[in-house]
Amino acid sequence: MGVKIIKTGRKVPHKKVTNFDLEKILDTTNEWIKDRTGIINRHISTNETSSSLAIEACQELIKDKDINLSEIGLIICATMTPDTLIPTVAANVKKALKIEHSITFDINVACSGFLYAVSVAESMMKNLNIKKGIVVGVDLNSQLVDWKDRGTAIVFGDGAGSVLLSSEKNSDSGILSTFLDNIDDNDNSLILKNISYKTPFNNLENEYEFFKLEMLGPKVMKFAINAINTSILSVIKSSNISLDKIKYIIPHQANQRIIDAAVKNLKIPNEKFYINIDNYANTSAGSIPIALDELNKNNLLKKGDYIILVGFGGGLSFGAILLKW
Ligand code: UT7
């Protein structure tokens, strides 16, 4: 039995923020951002939440009449920005979609979250005999970044992407190979401390302490380039499908220069990498499924195409999934 992606969806906030908009609030320029990252726009929440974006991205998956809601036995949300910790974002999705019974939970593996969630969903669907499952990746990075720090604020955006997975008994398509790993972040290159509250038993001076994302950009970039190479080569090796047979590689959209380095190192033609960072910036757990949905909705994916999803992020986590469409 294999597990296959049968539908895709996405939702981003309605407000577009351009590099020119950022010039007005940060010591930066459109040219610098474009040249160093490939980013031109990003979507930033005004009133949207992680749950509202995830819900709308998932409503896309079930709008066709052929979807039987009672078959959806699993909903996993990958996010590091849940607007409610309890209930989980996945539980909010379940309620909004009016799915009566389903396993629901959130996971946080930073920007690698979507890949990890798909892998967990695949295993659970096989082990627990679940017919259909939803994985949604969503992040509201505008809540995490320090809007006074030009080194981090310019690279992130908000958004959600979703997939509907189906257990298929007699199909040679679906997920063929997965590689996931984590190396220690010895340089503290990506850190977001959690909020702490004063209690009668700790030494906190204020009622609470909260933190913003801290990132050593060039260190993350070095890690990311290696992570992409290792992950792509690992899924290729374990699937016995040669790199030239791959139709598209959908990378986590963090920086155009990271993707350019992968093109050079792996000698993969540029056009195989699907890139939409110009319009969304880095949406963390949302980035790979948003790109996948764009490819799918633009009818660029054909039955039988081999595709690699590859990502990396805080942790330091990384990985790839090779699938046959
Ligand atoms: O999802 C995973 C999370 N993160 C990533 O994947 C991020 C990976 N890293 C990156 O994308 C890049 O490192 C950044 C885009 C964050 C930074 O680009 P960089 O080419 O690595 O620049 P840098 O940090 O080495 O800074 C070079 C110069 C510095 O000035 P000096 O010291 O050379 O005078 C910075 O102060 O550029 C300056 N700088 C800026 N200038 C204008 C840094 N940010 C900006 C900015 N506008 N926004």
Number of structural domains, the chain?
2
Contact in structure between 242 and 235 (CB atoms under 8 Å): no
Q: State the pairing for strand pair 174-182/317-324.
A: antiparallel
Query: What average pLDDT score do residues 48-72 get?
Result: 95
Q: Which mutation among 221, 222, 317 tests ligand 1's pocket best, with the greatest number of atoms within 8 A of CB?
A: 221
Same domain as 232, residue 150: no
pLDDT at 194 exceeding the cut of 90: yes
Q: Are residues 118 and 226 in the same domain?
A: no
72 and 185 in a single domain? The answer is no
> Bridge-partner residues for 105, per DSSP?
76
User: What CATH number is given to the structural domain containing 131?
Assistant: 3.40.47.10
Question: With 80 as the cut, is the pLDDT of residue 118 above it?
Answer: yes
Cα(75)–Cα(224) distance, integer angstroms: 28
Residues catalogued as catalytic: 111, 252, 282
262: tokens are 């992968």
- State yes or no: pLDDT of 226 exceeds 80: yes
Q: Where is the domain boundary, 171, 188, 206?
A: 171
- Given 171, 188, 218, the domain boundary residue is 171
Q: Which domain holds residue 155?
A: 2-171
Q: Which atom of ligand 1 is nearest to the CA of 26?
A: 48
| Confidence at residue 324, expressed as pLDDT on a 0 to 100 scale | 96
pLDDT of residue 65: 85
Residue 283's nearest CA partner among 261, 311, 315, 260 is 311
Bridge pairing between strands 72-78 and 306-313: unpaired
The last residue of a domain, from among 117, 151, 171 = 171
Mean pLDDT within 153-173: 94
Maximum separation of any 2 CA atoms in the chain, in Å: 62
157 Cα–ligand 1 center, Å: 16
Please write the tens of the pLDDT for every residue from 292-302. 999 999 999 99
Contact 136, 11 (CB under 8 A): no
